[in-house]
Amino acid sequence: MGPLMMDCSAELLTAQEREMIAHPLVGGVILFSRNYHDVSQLQELIRQIRAATATQVVIAVDHEGGRVQRFKQGFTHLPAMGKLSELTRSIQEAGQLAKACGVIMAYELKSMNIDFSFAPVLDINGISNVIGDRGLADNVDEVTVLARELLVGMRLINMPTTGKHFPGHGSVEADSHIAVPVDDRPLSEILENDTAVFKTCISENLLDAIMPAHVIYSSVDKEPAGFSSYWLKSLLRQQFGFKGVIFSDDLSMEGARVAGDYCQRGQAALRAGCDMILACNNQAGAVHILDNLSHSYIGNPRLSQLIHRNLPKNSQALYEAAVHTLNTFKQTSN
């Protein structure tokens, strides 16, 4: 598998996109709302993606719930994860609902032959508007409890899990899509208030992948976390013992521009410790990476951890029970 995850422009592949997906550096495709009209069209698009290459390719989507749910018509409308406590009366009930949402998300996506959702958001819901109610709660303890249940729900359906945005994006106001956020807090505070959630989930073997933030933690490193060997190699790999896949966040985001042109961004992320890099919403940028990135990055064995995960035999029963749980809490809250 190649190290690049690219996107598609519309509801079916263009000739250029077919050619790009067949490139040996491409190992993944991420889908967006523009790629969805209805279930039958999505099935055809996924068939086209898989038919375009003779090698393995992973297909992913941001399908968290709330305002970040790419497919809506024909899919269960999941609540924003930060709203779970409003639909329930206790942290225990919120945990039940989180688990149900994990099952529903995983089942509906895997039934479409989509490998995984980039979820969950493990950021603490602080001052960041781009995180906001995408975060499970505003404190470490509750986020940890709810994240554990959500991850277990996804795992019940055999879906790989991705924690984002390491080491924590919730305490900076700037949006890394349009700015270069800087978090000036000392390392001790970041580890205690943000990174602890990731560490717990890693120690309990609940995370298959992690996505770092395009945030500069100025007291630690001058580079954003996704380009920092300290955050990815020293802390995440060596100290926390994480053995899963590390995805870059989208290299087209403003927070990634500090690393140079598109190929330089990709090289910097891979050198820092990322296993797969995302280049979305800028086809010329993705092509620049394909034309210039070294082929030595092809064949990373970690990436194979994310494929060949079939739906378990009891998945439909688990799904139906989860939908019942979600509907029950929605009705009760009304």
**Residues annotated in the binding site for substrate, as ranges?**
62, 70, 134, 164-165
Please state the residue numbers annotated as binding site.
62, 70, 134, 164-165
Are 159 and 121 in contact, with CB atoms under 8 Å apart? no
Which amino acid type is present at position 275? Answer: D
Q: Which residue has the tokens 């590390």?
A: 246
Beta bridge pairs of residue 210:
163, 246
Residues catalogued as catalytic:
177, 249
Sequence-distant (≥ 6) Cβ neighbours of residue 92 within 8 angstroms: none
Q: Backbone phi, then psi, for 69, in 5-degree steps?
A: -140, 105
**What's the residue count for the chain?**
334
Nearest to 276 by CA among 308, 254, 244, 230: 244
What are the DSSP E strand ranges found in the chain? 4-7, 26-31, 58-61, 63-65, 68-69, 116-117, 162-166, 182-183, 209-212, 216-217, 245-250, 276-279
What is the distance between the alpha carbons of residues 267 and 293, in angstroms, rounded to a whole number? 7
Burial class (CB within 10 angstroms; exposed 0-12, middle 13-18, buried 19+) of 311: middle
Query: Dmax of the chain from CA atoms?
Result: 56
Instruction: Walk across the sheet containing 276-279 and list its strands.
Output: 116-117, 58-61, 26-31, 4-7, 276-279, 245-250, 209-212, 162-166
Token pair of 116, please? 């995984």
